[in-house]
Structure 1
């Protein structure tokens, strides 16, 4: 199995963070496969035709995506861990475009396990990759980025809360298939039969949520590593909910009424952030008030806390 051996200093300095480039790569992967995870079907239907039209008119881009996105390997130069001073998508994208052409070609050859097709032996390969990623970002990610960022940040708060109470085993529990904390400084990153990798003592390790079912790992040797994992707030389609009664909105406020309406079935705080578009702090505050008013209940399910309407909440929304 694939194991990273990680020292205590690396763990202390590790961080959960958001990466626009990682989400862009997740979007590209979904478009390339032509399938999306639960909760992303409408997004896929909206953007897949334009994506296919773009690649149909550019043989280099078509082969680039084929070579870069392999079943068990991604071309390293297209997705590296974010740096501490990155502030925007273009901060991360710049490293893609500035990759030496020979490095990009070597990464793609490693990914496909064979020499590059003649069409990919072009000097501006990194620039072509960056242009495609920028198109994916602009057309398919940026329009929903404010909402996605709130959902990712809510997931990070949940994970770091588990870390503070249950350690790394709790924080990484259920993060992605094949990944688990083994203890004694050993992180299993997948079930592949690869030799263990010793992470340098000065390395920075990041954990990054995205909209994908499986995730991946990436690095920028020798000292930056990242685990890309599925965000738990996006595991279910967002069904349409009826608008709360006007009288209820006037009584408890429209934001709390919206949350109450959506709790006909149990949902986590992270899912409510995704569904309502409200911030994590706002959702948490509204849940606290709804709990105090006995309009909702909560229960634990594994590592998550789920909220759902109480009989009193049901009667408030459906008065007889």
Structure 2
């Protein structure tokens, strides 16, 4: 599955979308095997409850090592969103419609060796549904407003880049192994598989998520998509700016400065801070005049980021 052959009309209809299920799977992977400092930090408050849940559910405990390996995720965790604005209940229902044997077949692809005895009993699909529902309810749903803001801010930036540089530029920035090869060929990973034709596909989506690396979502032969790491996931919008910095320059101005470790547009800052466009613009003007941020134009947007002075203020706040 290293290269997809994408018809031009399918690419023209492709879109970015936010998927609660994709972020739930990303959270499950971080709970199971965190790989980065920010995943370890996010996992901390949830890990005890997660371990207790697994101790009480031997099937769920056996599912995790069988479902994830470094090169593949079991397909029942990677069903492509069926609508432009999917909800978690609708996406969970799609998983629930799978048969136990379909789930086991997906597990045998991910782990070709024999499955654990716990995974051979009836009710396996129900156990998958319960596991996903637990992760959503206990870890993702309470954070969903802020998570969704980050994801939609990423989409704002990507669609701006799309209008300026086309799909080739956008795709190259989504994932280190993705690139547009020309002639309708989209490289999605570095696997040595024969090209896959998407001639029958009706949908191609790109889904930002709180993840370290992306993965494929699909419901062949009609729906395909790529998950990619969203920008700004290291910054938690729910966390206040350092108290000292807030006292020095004001809470809202400090909140904006704290988020500008990477370039963000005005519209992105509106999404991740919850402030109005006018308020964000006023604060950016003050920070520019003070030498705490710099700016440059990128397509139709203006991007802002911290100067060394701004970085020193944010670090020492």
Deviations 1:281-301 (A, max 9, x none): x37544432344424542459
Deviations 1:159-187 (A, max 9, x none): 11111110112112231231112222111
Which residue in the other structure is 2:12 paired with? 12
Deviations 1:208-247 (A, max 9, x none): 1111111111210111011011011114687952355668
**Which of these residues, 235, 245, 252, is aligned with residue 255 of structure 1?**
252
Which residue in the other structure is 1:24 paired with? 24
Q: Aligned runs of 1:247-286 on 2, under 5 Å?
A: 248-249=249-250, 254-256=251-253, 258-260=255-257, 262=258, 266-269=261-264, 277-279=272-274, 282=275, 285-286=278-279
| Contact map agreement 1:20 1:88 (CA 8 A) in 2 | yes
Which residue in the other structure is 1:106 paired with? 105
Which residue in the other structure is 2:232 paired with? 233
TM-superposed CA distance for 1:53, in Å, is: 1.9
| Contact map agreement 1:212 1:231 (CA 8 A) in 2 | yes
TM-superposed CA distance for 1:36, in Å, is: 4.4
Matched, 1:175 2:174: yes
Which residue in the other structure is 2:243 paired with? 242
CA distance in 1: counterparts of 2:268 and 2:39, whole angstroms = 16
Matched, 1:289 2:290: no
Q: TM-score, normalized by length of structure 2?
A: 0.85
Matched, 1:47 2:46: yes
Which residue in the other structure is 2:305 paired with? 307
Deviations 1:256-296 (A, max 9, x none): 45324x37x744337996899523xx375444323444245
CA distance in 1: counterparts of 2:169 and 2:155, whole angstroms = 13
TM-superposed CA distance for 1:85, in Å, is: 6.2
CA distance in 2: counterparts of 1:233 and 1:138, whole angstroms = 23
CA distance in 2: counterparts of 1:139 and 1:255, whole angstroms = 30
CA distance in 2: counterparts of 1:48 and 1:149, whole angstroms = 22
Distance change >3 Å, CA 13–CA 36, structure 1 → 2 = same
SS of match in other structure, 1:233: coil
| Contact map agreement 1:93 1:130 (CA 8 A) in 2 | yes
Q: TM-score, normalized by length of structure 1?
A: 0.84
TM-superposed CA distance for 1:59, in Å, is: 1.9
CA distance in 1: counterparts of 2:133 and 2:18, whole angstroms = 17
Unaligned runs of 5+ in 2: none
SS of match in other structure, 2:216: strand
Deviations 1:56-96 (A, max 9, x none): 23221111111111221111122211111654211100011
TM-superposed CA distance for 1:39, in Å, is: 3.2
Total equivalences in the alignment:
307
Distance change >3 Å, CA 255–CA 182, structure 1 → 2 = same
Which residue in the other structure is 1:2 paired with? 2
| Contact map agreement 1:81 1:218 (CA 8 A) in 2 | yes
CA distance in 1: counterparts of 2:270 and 2:280, whole angstroms = 14
| Contact map agreement 1:177 1:214 (CA 8 A) in 2 | no
| Contact map agreement 1:60 1:120 (CA 8 A) in 2 | yes
